[in-house]
Structure 1
């Protein structure tokens, strides 16, 4: 399986719930940064807030954070991969979001909302704190394209899409996968998370690599999803 990682940034909506996981790393990074451009009181205050978010899973000033999530840069992770499996099998595996539990130990369950497959409910264990959120399929072309998004008022708004294209043979697929997120707290949050964006990119690329290996080895199990 050949895989390529591409970095993009868009100026639209956006973000991801794993910001809690990054919060502690970001706090440590701020404290260890040896620069005079950030006043010491600002470093201490911002690090304390990030440590609080990471350790407790609680987000203070929720309403403010939601408002600040609007109208600032979206961070994107784009991965392209060649998978030696039929396009319909690749699409079906990615379309079944319950498979996320196979690749992320912190994702405890993924279930359809209201018994349908147009929306999904996720429960995760982040730093010992249970986190829950919903996301919805916003556009789909069977065996070709799927786009999803969390609700607009989600504190950690995130969205994404994947497209499958025929490869050079019937048993090969060219996959394009995009995951987009917006750090909370507006431009300040983005500036804090930006240095760690490469880690998020590597995480997403690793997920696609795992999916490709599993599909190529024929170990995929696909749920028959009928509305």
Structure 2
């Protein structure tokens, strides 16, 4: 005899929301039992059920699943008046990245792994994560991603192509990050996406300046 799985049995509430549901439900239940109040008791029991089982009837009705995570991609394109071999070599030495990525405080390389320390705009403390090179095509592409369950999963790649008419190199930089699952994560993605687009474009522009002139132009706004 086959067992049919219903959508009603699917867990569609992420861990953070489940903890909040149980906590708030318990407080509401305690309040309702001091002086019995059916209008408080029913919602409190439902919240506790929602938190313990991970199932939300409302989410199921509107086909929402807060356990799902979606990557957010930020892209930037530049043409740099240098051969791609030179650009690749500079970028491939990951310890060079903080020279033009102002949000990066340091990158320390150990064999094929690296430890990154950064300060994120609007987040007033340092965060550190480990990463590894996942794709390396000399003079063409470098790809990397975070490992060991970082606070925010992130990955990136840079592609080097000869520009038309011997006008240097076209580079495409893609950063991908995965905010926490659920409504809180979606809100974080909306808040961070535009600042990150500006940040990445500004930092790739800094890479262009360093490679073409040997130094990065001072940005007073970044220092204040």
Normalising TM by the smaller chain, what interval? 0.5 to 0.7
Alignment of 1:124-163 (within 5 A): 124=118, 129-151=125-147, 153-163=149-159
**Which residue does the alignment assign to 2:76?**
79
Alignment of 1:44-55 (within 5 A): none
| Bigger radius of gyration among the two | 2
Flag structure 1 segments of 5+ consecutive residues without an equivalent: 1-67, 221-227
Alignment of 1:59-70 (within 5 A): none
Mapped contact 2:69–2:181 kept (Cα < 8 A): no
Are 2:206 and 1:176 aligned?
no
- Aligned-residue CA RMSD (Å): 2.7
Deviations 1:110-148 (A, max 9, x none): 1112xx2x2211234566644321100001111101110
Deviations 1:135-184 (A, max 9, x none): 00001111101110001522210001111001124460010110011122
CA change 1:198–1:171 in 2 (3 A) is same
Alignment of 1:8-27 (within 5 A): none
CA change 1:174–1:168 in 2 (3 A) is same
Deviation at 1:198, TM superposition (A): 1.2
**Which residue does the alignment assign to 1:198?**
194
CA change 1:92–1:219 in 2 (3 A) is farther
Flag structure 2 segments of 5+ consecutive residues without an equivalent: 1-64, 217-224
CA change 1:143–1:71 in 2 (3 A) is farther
**Which residue does the alignment assign to 1:90?**
87
How many residue pairs are counted as aligned between the two chains?
151
Deviation at 1:97, TM superposition (A): 1.5
TM-score of the pair, normalised by structure 1:
0.58
Mapped contact 1:124–1:130 kept (Cα < 8 A): yes
Match for residue 115 of structure 2 among 104, 107, 121: 121
Match for residue 102 of structure 1 among 96, 99, 103: 99
- The SS at the match of 1:154 is coil
More helix by share: 2
**Which residue does the alignment assign to 2:53?**
none
Taking the aligned partners of 1:160 and 1:205, their CA distance within structure 2 comes to: 14
Taking the aligned partners of 2:102 and 2:161, their CA distance within structure 1 comes to: 29
CA change 1:198–1:216 in 2 (3 A) is same
